[in-house]
């Protein structure tokens, strides 16, 4: 790897560490948002674990200046970053919890450095989003182009409204004003590049190589990662448990945090 080491890694990845336990749980957000995706889930593990949250370079409050489109054109670079974070914080025996594309980033990281990880929790994983011969990924190539176009148009539509607006949110006072509309704000070019890296990836071969035990959490209705994909992932990973959630959609960590927490806790007991 020829990349420059991170000068101030903890700040650059906006790392947040909490929890009373000693075994680290590393929560990795997926494509679309940042570590806030775990806000209803990670606190439940603070009593028993050391929770580590971060934003990928280019997302959330990370150091955008460290973003390089060429480097981050494949998931490999993100996996290297996960390893760099573990090394920097001297983490070992790590429980990696990855949502969406981060599931595969976790698999790649664990294949590179199996010594770091004890368990992987994969929430809505997909090794390949585009259909292939004998494989159902859920999308055809045109859909991904459509997404990239949608991203373009959305940033057009958001040009005024997505600027961080200070807006009262009386129904959810716990969120605080500063958070309003600042979630998921990503530089349009970075968002598109991440979308490309995510949706054009094919990591099916990496699944069979995984030596770390993994939990595959599959929602009952998920446009992004349909049931067939979850089944496929569980079949390919040698030591895996498949759990189909009652929750629907792609973000059970947000739409069904209780079920998500319960399922992870059960897996960790095994």
Residues 104-123: x where in contact with another protein by CB under 8 A, - otherwise, as a string: --------------------
Check residue 148 for interaction with another protein (CB under 8 A).
yes
Phi, psi dihedral angles at 187 (to 5 degrees): -55, 130
Token match 């969120």: residue?
Answer: 175
Check residue 37 for interaction with another protein (CB under 8 A).
yes
Residue in 62, 100, 126, 240 annotated catalytic: 100
Tell me how crowded residue 8 is: count the other CB atoms within 10 A of its CB. Answer: 9
Mark whether 92 is an active-site residue: no
Closest CA to 120 of 247, 40, 256, 238: 238
Q: Which residue from 16, 23, 73, 143 is in contact with another protein, where contact means CB under 8 A?
A: 143
Mark whether 161 is an active-site residue: no
Can you say how many angstroms the Cα of residue 143 is from the centroid of all Cα atoms in its chain? 21
Distance CA 186, CA 63 (A): 12
Q: How far is the CB of 99 from another protein (least distance, A)?
A: 10
Mark whether 222 is an active-site residue: yes
Using CB under 8 A, which residues numbered 204 to 233 contact another protein? 221-224
Residue in 44, 49, 99, 250 annotated catalytic: 250
Sheet containing strand 117-123, edge to edge, reads 16-18, 50-54, 24-28, 94-99, 117-123, 214-218, 240-244
Catalytic residue positions? 100, 222, 250
Q: Contact residues for another protein (CB under 8 A)? A: 30-33, 36-37, 39, 100, 139, 142-151, 153-154, 156-158, 160-161, 165, 169, 171-172, 175, 179-181, 183-184, 199, 221-224, 248-251, 254-255
């Amino acid at each position: 790897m020829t990349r420059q080491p991170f000068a101030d890694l903890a700040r650059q990845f906006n790392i947040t560490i909490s929890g009373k336990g000693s075994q680290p749980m590393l929560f990795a957000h997926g494509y679309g948002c940042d570590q806030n995706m775990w806000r209803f889930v990670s606190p439940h593990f603070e009593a028993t674990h050391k929770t580590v949250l971060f934003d990928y370079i280019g997302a959330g409050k990370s150091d955008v200046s460290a973003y390089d489109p060429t480097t981050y054109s494949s998931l490999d670079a993100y996996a290297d970053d996960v390893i760099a974070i573990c090394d920097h914080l001297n983490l070992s025996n790590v429980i990696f919890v990855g949502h969406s594309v981060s599931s595969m980033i976790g698999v790649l990281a664990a294949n590179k450095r199996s010594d770091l990880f004890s368990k992987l929790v994969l929430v809505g994983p997909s090794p390949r989003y585009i259909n292939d011969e004998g494989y159902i990924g859920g999308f055809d190539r045109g859909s991904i182009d459509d997404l990239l176009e949608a991203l373009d148009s959305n940033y057009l539509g958001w040009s005024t409204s997505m600027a961080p607006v200070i807006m009262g949110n009386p129904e959810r006072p716990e969120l605080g004003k500063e958070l309003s509309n600042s979630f998921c704000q990503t530089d349009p070019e970075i968002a598109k590049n991440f979308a490309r890296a995510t949706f054009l990836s094919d990591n099916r071969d990496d699944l069979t190589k995984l030596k770390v035990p993994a939990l595959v959490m599959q929602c009952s209705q998920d446009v992004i990662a349909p049931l067939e994909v979850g089944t496929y992932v569980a079949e390919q990973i040698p030591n895996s448990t498949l759990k189909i959630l009652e929750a629907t959609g792609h973000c059970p960590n947000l739409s069904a945090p209780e079920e998500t927490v319960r399922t992870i806790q059960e897996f960790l007991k095994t």
